[in-house]
Structure 1
Amino acid sequence: MRPNSLHARDIASLIHQQTDLDAFSREGALIIARGQGCRVWDTEGREYIEAMAGLWCASLGFSEKRLAEAAYRQLLTLPYYHTFFQKGHEPAIELAERLLAIAPPARGGRFARVAFQCSGSEANDAAIKLIWYYNNLRGRPRKKKIIGRIRGYHGNTVAAASVSGQPHMHADFDLPYGDRFLHIDNPNWYRFAEDGESEEAFSARMAANLEALIEREGADTIAAFFAEPVQGGGGAITPPARYFDLIQPILRRHDILFVADEVICGFGRTGNMWGCDTYAIEPDLLTCAKQLSAAYQPLSALLINEEIHHALLEGSRKHGTFGHGFTYGGHPVACAVGVETLKIYEERDILGHVRRVSPVFLGALEQARSHPLVRDVRGVGLLCGVEIVADKRTRAPFPPAAKAGLDVQKGCEEEGLIVRAIGDRIAFTPPLILSEDEAHEIGARFLRGLDRALAALRPALAAE
């Protein structure tokens, strides 16, 4: 059993998400009781640096009183209202205005309107619906297929999980749903480059494969391409050199919409306000969540360009209404927290802080390259992925049955460091308020966690 395991009644009552439920039923789970800054404590009083900001999202840490106070004020004033039927409220209006003011350039100009939801999954699901709606209104009923990337992650609704390229999210769920979802290469240069292939050559091959897929399927059947600026759920994979420079002209040439999934990258994670700014992406639609409210409230947003907004107006005239919405989309408490979060980012120059601490953070993790289990370390801003290998010389991975990444994750946990194993890549996305001292401590605890994992993995290494 884990040192801090669930009581039997908890094991019997709660389904834990994205979890090995069989292992959970035998081992229990870590129960977190409180948080302060970048650290959390379990119910037995053990302290951890939360190097994943929860699920990539607690950007201002676990004790930002201004956000709690913003939620409380709004609860006392207007605890709930909606944006259906020509009604609305000030927090949603103000947050939409602030988002449009800081949004990156959209293809052909600026973003025009914002729709609020409760999660990144819902935002991406809404994007897919609006893309299909848009093409119907433009007289292109065949232009409906959506291209995602292998190991891309866009959420857990039926549509969002379908465009995601995560095999474990498809198996036995009857996903991808229908024949409208296609997948292209995982842009992981380290793992999938051919011998001697440079990053730019790899990117050119990825672009050529995209072009070939479009020609094979027919551009008149393909509606959109989804991509995260940095592939989070795929293992914190930064794009290879010139990847988006080569992808975007292909999409424009074939009139295929680009949806930038900024759910993880948005609001400073890459050292700029948006991953689109970092990688010169000009999308047609943009989804964001997580750091939009610093995870203090469930909140997401979908931004659309002017052309798509005009289609919504046209559809409303045709049908007498815009038949889409969520009961809790644009919840006033969530929006009030979102407004306060954006104010804090600006007032405290969070972007400047990320840029200052990023070299320390990435440098601390770079030291892991000397460890026998580590070959590749790459990141941007306060986001980093570390590849665990069985053989550093050949880059040979561990067999899947070894679950090497989980051994590293457990070893880190025993050293007071919470990280995320994604296969055999270890992801790090600490809160954006991370200090330089905490960055150094993450590096030190990670090395000790690797040592623990190495001891556990010696039988698998001996078998290689």
Structure 2
Amino acid sequence: MTLETLPNDVLDRWDREAFMHPSTHLAQHARGESASRIVSGGEGVYIQDRDGNRLLDAFAGLYCVNVGYGRQEIVEAIADQARELAYYHAYAGHGTEASITLAKMVLDRAPDHMSKVYFGLSGSDANETNIKLVWYYNNILGRPRKKKIISRWRGYHGSGLMTGSLTGLQLFHAKFDLPLKNVIHTQMPYYYRRADTAMDEAAFVADCAAKLEALIEQEGADTIAAFIGEPALGTGGLVPPPAGYWDAIQPILEKHDILLIADEVVTGFGRLGSMFGSTHYAMRPDLITIAKGLTSAYAPLSGSIISERVWQVLEQGTDENGPIGHGWTYSAHPIGAAAGIANLKLVDEMSLPANAATTGSYLKETLQDAIGDHPHVGEVRGEGLLCAVELVEDRANRSFFDPAKKVGMAVVAKMLEQGVIARAMPEGDIIGLAPPLCLSKGEADQIVEVLRRSVLDVVDTA
């Protein structure tokens, strides 16, 4: 019996007996009390499972299959690289044509002041790299106390030890003894969830800036090394920053000589309608984290893009101390790099950032027209092809549903029954949409109609 002919019930049993899934209720899954889906194929914005269901993936896997499924150009690039050279390490000055070429392609698209690219495998390990580089940077400059990292509540930066600490969602802290020391959190730039509903957007931005200043004063600027933030919040609720937010935050960081890490794992390579979120919001980061859209997840690959300012200090460090003591076995893996080259070529050829801008605007406007006035819809928001619908029990006084009702999860389940995959975001009843950047307006219409019907089916009885 081959895998191709293996009955689904056997695979399902093996799945529950042998496979530990990430971000899953482990006990329910092992007991067979929760759904199991075995995905077997995909094309464009659709996936297919082994039961023959064709589903519009309105979350691009995990915001990552930007070019869409089934792109043979990337498949062939991976196969060609595997035949020519499946692996060689990048230590001690070694490289491959693919890794060197991809580094150049990334820098050609990044903000002008960026200098080098270090490649890893996941957004989590890229952020681990960034924190190590920040600490190294301050040690070389003779500032051993300047080590704390400021993150934001509801920010998502990974699920490792340090990166899980940076993440500002309790799910990733509870029972893991996180956050670790040297990580502190400040106010999230989430206007809809502001504590004082009387605040206008400008006042809220000023409050975010004031709270950051107060935190720096409390901790001591000489102890704070960096501030990390997604240009637009991803897993924390798909929240674009309020107008003027980054313009208010960056001068504070510059004043106190605090490095800025832009986590662009979600926003990099077109999702907001610009190649990078940093350029979209006129940010000037010292380090940029990249992953998902780098290869559209056709192969694992991440990166840390390092500014000229930081790079000069890293060079100084190796002149003083010898080779830098950091690296992964699979850093700059040639198969991942080959996938990245083919992927970025497609991003350009298909004009995906421009399509994300136009189709994303259409998706948000159509959602607003279809459901924005519903009494249980608190907000429809988005930027590019990053969009969310936040559900509330009472729109007038902005009261939220009891989390035990799991309203958001029920809406997403109802959407799945109708052939569309969305995501219930954590810590709220938030329906998240982040489809492939090749989404058409007709496919956007399908998402909107299914979401509209599902919300009406669920929330009026919640």
Q: Say yes or no: TM over 0.5.
A: yes
Indicate the residue corresponding to 1:155 in structure 2.
158
Three-state SS of the structure 1 residue aligned to 2:260 is: strand
Three-state SS of the structure 2 residue aligned to 1:182 is: strand
Indicate the residue corresponding to 2:308 in structure 1.
306
Q: Determine if contact 1:4/1:29 at 8 Å carries over to the other structure.
A: no
Choose 27-36 or 10-19, whichever is displaced more.
Answer: 27-36
After superposition, give the CA deviation of every residue in 1:208-230 in whole Å (9 maximum; x if it has no partner).
00000000000000000000011
Three-state SS of the structure 2 residue aligned to 1:131 is: helix
Three-state SS of the structure 1 residue aligned to 2:92 is: coil
Indicate the residue corresponding to 1:441 in structure 2.
446
Indicate the residue corresponding to 2:169 in structure 1.
166
Q: Superposition pairs for residues 175-254 of structure 1, below 5 Å? A: 175-177=178-180, 179-254=181-256
Q: Determine if contact 1:385/1:427 at 8 Å carries over to the other structure.
A: yes
Structure 2 CA distance for aligned equivalents of residues 354 and 71 of structure 1: 26
Structure 1 residue 372: Cα displacement: 4.2
Aligned match for 1:427, one of 432, 444, 447: 432
Three-state SS of the structure 2 residue aligned to 1:7 is: helix
* 1:368 equivalenced with 2:371 (yes/no): yes
Instruction: Give TM-score, length-normalised by structure 1.
Output: 0.94
Structure 1 CA distance for aligned equivalents of residues 457 and 327 of structure 2: 49
Structure 1 CA distance for aligned equivalents of residues 93 and 304 of structure 2: 19
Structure 1 residue 193: Cα displacement: 4.6
Structure 2 CA distance for aligned equivalents of residues 104 and 320 of structure 1: 29
After superposition, give the CA deviation of every residue in 1:349-375 in whole Å (9 maximum; x if it has no partner).
222222332222112222221334312
Structure 2 CA distance for aligned equivalents of residues 261 and 421 of structure 1: 22
Q: Determine if contact 1:39/1:49 at 8 Å carries over to the other structure.
A: yes
Structure 1 residue 31: Cα displacement: 2.3
Indicate the residue corresponding to 2:3 in structure 1.
none
Three-state SS of the structure 2 residue aligned to 1:329 is: coil
Query: Which segments of 5 or more consecutive residues in structure 1 lack a partner in the other structure?
Result: none
Three-state SS of the structure 1 residue aligned to 2:93 is: coil
After superposition, give the CA deviation of every residue in 1:174-207 in whole Å (9 maximum; x if it has no partner).
1111x20000112111112513211111010010
Structure 2 CA distance for aligned equivalents of residues 355 and 10 of structure 1: 39
- Cα pair distance change 1:387/1:256, threshold 3 Å: same
Identity %, equivalent residues: 43
- Cα pair distance change 1:368/1:32, threshold 3 Å: farther
After superposition, give the CA deviation of every residue in 1:271-300 in whole Å (9 maximum; x if it has no partner).
011111211111111111101101101011
Indicate the residue corresponding to 1:257 in structure 2.
259
Structure 1 CA distance for aligned equivalents of residues 84 and 455 of structure 2: 50
Indicate the residue corresponding to 2:457 in structure 1.
452
Q: Determine if contact 2:361/2:383 at 8 Å carries over to the other structure.
A: no
After superposition, give the CA deviation of every residue in 1:366-422 in whole Å (9 maximum; x if it has no partner).
222133431200101111111011112211111111111111111111111111111
Q: Determine if contact 1:5/1:27 at 8 Å carries over to the other structure.
A: no
Q: Determine if contact 2:45/2:438 at 8 Å carries over to the other structure.
A: yes
Aligned match for 2:71, one of 50, 64, 67: 64
Structure 2 CA distance for aligned equivalents of residues 51 and 233 of structure 1: 15
Structure 1 residue 6: Cα displacement: 7.0
Structure 1 CA distance for aligned equivalents of residues 309 and 77 of structure 2: 35
Letter in 1 for 2:186: I
Letter in 2 for 1:48: L
After superposition, give the CA deviation of every residue in 1:286-331 in whole Å (9 maximum; x if it has no partner).
1111011011010111011122212222222232211101111100
Letter in 2 for 1:337: A
Letter in 2 for 1:92: S
Aligned match for 1:78, one of 58, 62, 85: 85
Three-state SS of the structure 1 residue aligned to 2:261 is: strand
Structure 2 CA distance for aligned equivalents of residues 5 and 369 of structure 1: 44
Letter in 2 for 1:322: I
- Cα pair distance change 1:270/1:388, threshold 3 Å: same
- Cα pair distance change 1:132/1:251, threshold 3 Å: same
Choose 234-243 or 342-351, whichever is displaced more.
Answer: 342-351
Aligned match for 1:36, one of 40, 43, 50: 43
After superposition, give the CA deviation of every residue in 1:236-263 in whole Å (9 maximum; x if it has no partner).
0110111111000000000000000000
Aligned match for 1:15, one of 17, 20, 23: 20
Three-state SS of the structure 2 residue aligned to 1:397 is: coil
Q: Superposition pairs for residues 283-432 of structure 1, below 5 Å? A: 283-366=285-368, 367-422=370-425, 423-432=428-437
Structure 2 CA distance for aligned equivalents of residues 6 and 174 of structure 1: 35
CA RMSD, 1 decimal: 1.6
- Cα pair distance change 1:238/1:101, threshold 3 Å: same
Structure 2 CA distance for aligned equivalents of residues 382 and 121 of structure 1: 23
Structure 2 CA distance for aligned equivalents of residues 249 and 7 of structure 1: 54
Q: Determine if contact 1:414/1:449 at 8 Å carries over to the other structure.
A: no
Moved runs in structure 1, 4+ residues, more than 6 A? 3-6
Structure 1 residue 24: Cα displacement: 2.6
- Cα pair distance change 1:384/1:4, threshold 3 Å: farther
Structure 2 CA distance for aligned equivalents of residues 371 and 69 of structure 1: 47
Letter in 2 for 1:376: E
Structure 2 CA distance for aligned equivalents of residues 101 and 278 of structure 1: 16
Structure 2 CA distance for aligned equivalents of residues 433 and 93 of structure 1: 27
Three-state SS of the structure 2 residue aligned to 1:114 is: strand
* 1:55 equivalenced with 2:62 (yes/no): yes
Letter in 2 for 1:95: L
- Cα pair distance change 1:34/1:371, threshold 3 Å: farther
Three-state SS of the structure 2 residue aligned to 1:287 is: strand
Indicate the residue corresponding to 2:5 in structure 1.
none
Indicate the residue corresponding to 2:4 in structure 1.
none
How many residue pairs get aligned? The number is: 450
Structure 2 CA distance for aligned equivalents of residues 232 and 132 of structure 1: 26
Instruction: Give TM-score, length-normalised by structure 2.
Output: 0.94
Three-state SS of the structure 1 residue aligned to 2:380 is: strand
Q: Determine if contact 1:259/1:285 at 8 Å carries over to the other structure.
A: yes
